Amino acid sequence: MSLREKVVHGLLWSLASRVGGQAFQFAFGVVLARLLSPNEFGTIGMLLVFTGFAQALADCGLSAALIQIQVVTERDCSTVFWLQFAIALCLCGLLWVSAPAIAAFYALPAIEMPCRLMSGIFPLQALGYTHSSLLSKQFQFRALAIISVVSIATSGIAAVALAAYGFGIWALVWQSMVAALVTTALLWMRSHWRPSFLFDREAAVKLSRYGIYLLGHGSLNYWIRNGDNLLIGKFLGAHSLGIYARAYSLMLLPLNNIGAVLGQVMFPALSQVQHDIPRFRKSYLTATRVIALISFPIMIGIAVLAEPFIAVLYGEKWAEVYPLLQVLSLVGLFQSIIFPVGWIFTSLGKTKAQFLLSVPLAFMFIIAIIWGIRYGLIGVTYAYAIWTLWAGVLNLHLAGKYIGLTASNILMSVVPIGLMSGAMGLVVFMVDAFLLKTYLPAIQLLASGALGGLIYLTLCIITKDETFVELLLLISTKIDHDLVPARLKSIP
């Protein structure tokens, strides 16, 4: 199987995994939102700020290092396995000991025991990191897709059952624990690799040179992504954090379902063509436009229909979410084309430059959120939006230099898609405001959503949008690889 065929095969399985997994996750999220309160979601959100950071540290960027390097030996794999497991055990102990301090920080004693239980996630996950990396490197995305969906479904069922029986926040705690246990168990069942009792210092140093800067960037980026949660939880309380976290997670849905699908496949694929910059550049632009083609209309649709969307899914107790969601949806639209720049840094081994850029951006983020929090949740939301625009342009500028593109080149490549999405959003807004406003939220959402989808698809066909045609042809290569046309040469 050629690299192009591997990419197409991997993309389709990654898409199936993401769609299936997120469908389960979204459905369980809706049910849990009706069984639990914003306060309970906010409380677990406070805890996840710290446990999520520890999870990012446990990987140390070594999983990506295994994928990026061209030739991987048994010593490399075993060294990474034992190093990650040792770090995870240390983080587990550190979080266990720090649980009282975290509870005191929030003045919320109730999170001490959940914090200690969740510390066990780190060693559980670390046992599967190397297996997951090797499966990705081998383009075994079918196996990874099945593992992901089964894990999400199993943990979701457990959480809903516990919430229904009145376990409150513990339902969300055990959801994370069950997901980690099931994922690792299935990775070991699927992967034939087993760790040896080997630890090569030279291999550790070699891989760490790549991973240390990726870890530094990941750590700073984590706090950029979660610093707002930390400050909201501290100064505005659990209820406010629950509202903000719900809006933020909805904004991330298209990004997680589209960008991450492509990223899972494009990173190992681009790593294999890292020395062929023209081919790399074409592949990157094609993938960026595909993300925009799918995410732009979704984000604009959510922004226009935020009020009925929240009313139908979560009920009136979550009404505070929709004004925040309107702003964050437009932020997510921009983030969807910023997300792929990470592939450039990681695939080309430019993790040091990525880390150095993260340092000033982290300081700017802290300043923005501290300013915004004085004006409540809407202030934080606008502060986050302004920071995202500035940080995104800087990322595009720096990453584009490595492959011969400017920020304007990248942004202009998605302008036709933006115009079609904007036209669709304007029509849906007018129809919703003047014709459907008096109807029930469910009818309003269904009718407006169907109209928006039909308008957007029609515009793609009428304009013969290049990216739309490329996507259809990309899918056709899986159906019949003998029909691959020249246009798909941009796919590695």
Total H helices, total E strands in the chain: 21, 0
Instruction: Find all residues with CB under 8 Å of 17, minimum gap 6, and list them.
Output: 141, 144, 145, 146, 148, 149, 261
- Per-residue model confidence (pLDDT) at position 485: 41
Q: What is the mean pLDDT of residues 146-174?
A: 90
Domain boundaries, the chain: 1-199, 227-492
CA–CA gap between residue 379 and residue 236 (Å, rounded): 12
Q: What is the pLDDT of residues 426-443, one digit of tens each?
A: 999 999 888 888 888 899
The alpha-carbon radius of gyration of the chain (Å, integer) is 22
CA–CA gap between residue 117 and residue 177 (Å, rounded): 8
CA–CA gap between residue 357 and residue 217 (Å, rounded): 8
Q: Pick from 452, 333, 350: which is nearest to 395 by CA?
A: 350
Most confident by average pLDDT, 5-19, 281-295, 445-459: 445-459
Q: What is the pLDDT of residues 294-323, one digit of tens each?
A: 899 999 999 999 999 998 888 888 889 989
CA–CA gap between residue 143 and residue 392 (Å, rounded): 34
Q: What is the mean pLDDT of residues 441-470?
A: 92
pLDDT, greater one: 436 or 206: 436
DSSP, collapsed to helix, strand or coil, labels residue 201 as: helix
Say yes or no to pLDDT of 475 above 70.
no
- Per-residue model confidence (pLDDT) at position 314: 83
CA–CA gap between residue 212 and residue 218 (Å, rounded): 10
CA–CA gap between residue 142 and residue 368 (Å, rounded): 42
Residue with tokens 């850029």: 357
Q: Mean pLDDT of all residues in the chain?
A: 83
- Per-residue model confidence (pLDDT) at position 415: 94
Instruction: Find all residues with CB under 8 Å of 444, minimum gap 6, and list them.
Output: 305, 308, 432, 436, 437
Q: Pick from 48, 370, 68: which is nearest to 231 by CA?
A: 370
One-letter amino acid at 37 equals S
The total of other beta-carbon atoms located within 10 Å of residue 415's CB is 10
Residue with tokens 């030739």: 71
CA–CA gap between residue 490 and residue 270 (Å, rounded): 12
**Least trusted range by pLDDT, from 65-79, 115-129, 287-301:** 65-79
DSSP, collapsed to helix, strand or coil, labels residue 200 as: coil
CA–CA gap between residue 206 and residue 340 (Å, rounded): 26
- Per-residue model confidence (pLDDT) at position 491: 37
pTM of the predicted model over 0.85? no
Element (H, E) at 395: helix 376-401
Say yes or no to pLDDT of 385 above 90.
yes
Say yes or no to pLDDT of 71 above 90.
no
The two tokens of residue 169 are 């926040």
**Least trusted range by pLDDT, from 90-99, 126-135, 139-148:** 139-148
